[in-house]
Structure 1
Amino acid sequence: MLATTQNTTINMILLASTVSGSIPGNQLINSSKQRPSSRSCVVNSAVAMTNEVKRSCEFYDMHKELIPYAEAWSWQKDIVKKRKELIEREKDCSDTLIILQHHPVYTLGTRSSEAYLNFSMKNAPINVYRTERGGEVTYHGPGQLVIYPIINLRYHKMDLHWYLRALEEVVIRVLSSTFFIKASRIEGLTGVWVGDQKLAAIGIKVSQWIAYHGLALNVATDLTAFGQIVPCGIQDRQVGSIKGLLQEHVSPNQRGAENKYDIDDNQLIDITHKSLVQEFCKIFQVHLRHKPIPAGIAWERPEVLHSITEKGD
Structure 2
Amino acid sequence: MNYLGVVQRSIFTIRSIRNSSNITIPSLIDSYPIEATIFEPPPSSSSSSNSIYVVISEATGNRRQFYFPFAKYLSEQHNLHVITYDYRGTHVRKPTEWTLVEHWARRDCAGVISYCFEKYKQVVHIGHSLGGNMHALLPPFINEKISRILLISSANSYLMYHKWNLSFPKTCFLLYVIREPLHWLYGYYPIRTVFRTGVDMPTNIIREWARWSLYRQCFVDKHGQMLTDGFNSVKCPILAINFADDEFYTRQAFDIFTKQFNQSSNIQTKHLPKGGHFNFFKENQSLKLWQEAVQFIKYGHTKNLFDVNK
Q: Normalized per residue, which structure has more strand?
A: 1
Larger RCO, structure (CA 8 Å, separation 6 or more): 1
In which range does the TM-score fall when normalised by the shorter chain?
under 0.3
TM-score norm. by structure 2 comes to 0.25
TM-score norm. by structure 1 comes to 0.25
